[in-house]
Amino acid sequence: MLALSVSASAQRRTKMPKEFSIFGGGNYAFVYHQKVLSGVYGVSSNGFGADLGVGFTAFAGKHIGFHFGLGVGMNNVKTLVDSITFVSPNFANAPSLFGDEQPYDLYTNLSGYDEKQNMYFLTIPVLLQFQTLPQRSHRAGVGKSFYAMAGVKLNILLKKQYEVEVQELKNMAYFTQLENWAGTQTFAGLGRFVGNTANGRFKTIMPVFTFEAGMKWELSKKTNLYTGAYFDCSLTDPTKNSRISVNKYTSAENLAELSLLDFYDKSFSMGVGIKLRLAFVKTPICFPCR
């Protein structure tokens, strides 16, 4: 009985506080396109995002804690490409424009490519938290400390729509053997096309690396306020399977129902913003114990 009593007392003395929190934040969102193809000019991307939810933090020591949460978020990003000039040599599936099928080089000029991504998602963060010991001034009783958090958020997309608009598209074919140009056969995707728009959907799960840092304010023994800045970066591209090459914009079906253009090697959705988290502390009977 004495041994059990000592063991129970030791376990009780090593208990650490727990925090239940609500959080909210907003960010400037954009898409970083890596290794943009040659012939693509004037790529820009910007938008906005938001993140809010509830969380639970279990501390394993005075400096280290593990944060879990559940929330909802959104990202609305618009990507613009001024122009795309693309040459596809020896283009396959050549149409029978001059009797027998002949190989040709496809010259594509696209201007005013407008891509909008609207994402609404359920988010599940799993983060490691580090914090310094609180410091208190003589004039104010509010304690403050530095904190940093890093980990992964799993974004499960609830709404995953994109919208594509192309102001103007011109396709010309140069038949190398015939030494002749063709550019008016619209049934083969050749010619000038204006004002095409389309909508679609993409992948449903997007893991995101997240980092957050700022100040932790001890408003009372039971309440803490976190004020910080955060950075999110997607680990995968949810739109990758929905993209097609520029030279696919050559059939009546594709021109009527445009898809996202594959004009880069990789892309990452990013966001930089501020976040507030109000935490309610559940303190053990004996903390800190000495």
- Write the pLDDT tens digit of every residue in 55-112: 999 999 889 999 999 999 999 999 999 999 988 887 755 555 555 567 788 898 988 8
Query: Where is mean pLDDT largest: 11-20, 31-40, 181-190, 281-290?
Result: 31-40
Regarding beta strands 143-175 and 180-182, do their DSSP bridges make them parallel or antiparallel, or are they unpaired? antiparallel
In this predicted structure, what is the pLDDT of residue 204? 81
In the block, residue with structure tokens 């976040």: 275
- Is there a domain that residue 214 lies in? yes
Contacts of 190 (CB under 8 A, 6+ apart): 171, 172, 173, 182, 183, 184, 250
In this predicted structure, what is the pLDDT of residue 139? 57
3-state secondary structure at position 6: helix
- Is there a domain that residue 5 lies in? no
In this predicted structure, what is the pLDDT of residue 141? 61
How many domains are contained in the chain? 1
In this predicted structure, what is the pLDDT of residue 176? 78
Does the pLDDT of residue 226 top 70, yes or no?
A: yes
Tokens found for residue 285: 């009977």
- Is there a domain that residue 137 lies in? yes
- Is there a domain that residue 10 lies in? no
Cβ-based neighbour number of residue 249 at 10 Å:
23
Residue 196 pLDDT class (50, 70, 90 cuts): confident
Tokens found for residue 113: 């490519």
Q: Which has the closest alpha carbon to 264: 31, 29, 30?
A: 31
In this predicted structure, what is the pLDDT of residue 1? 41
Cβ-based neighbour number of residue 218 at 10 Å:
19
Supply the mean pLDDT for the chain: 84
State CA 86 to chain mean position distance.
Answer: 28
- Is there a domain that residue 13 lies in? no
Does the pLDDT of residue 11 top 70, yes or no?
A: no
Alpha-carbon span 169 to 242, nearest angstrom:
20
Does the pLDDT of residue 186 top 70, yes or no?
A: yes
In this predicted structure, what is the pLDDT of residue 9? 41
In this predicted model, which residue has the larger pLDDT, 201 or 4? Answer: 201
- Full residue range of the structural domain in which residue 53 is found: 18-282
**Residues 96-155: tens digit of each pLDDT:** 555 556 778 889 898 889 999 888 999 999 999 999 988 765 555 678 999 999 999 999
Residue 288 pLDDT class (50, 70, 90 cuts): very low
Does the pLDDT of residue 175 top 60, yes or no?
A: yes
In this predicted structure, what is the pLDDT of residue 255? 73
Residue 280 pLDDT class (50, 70, 90 cuts): very high
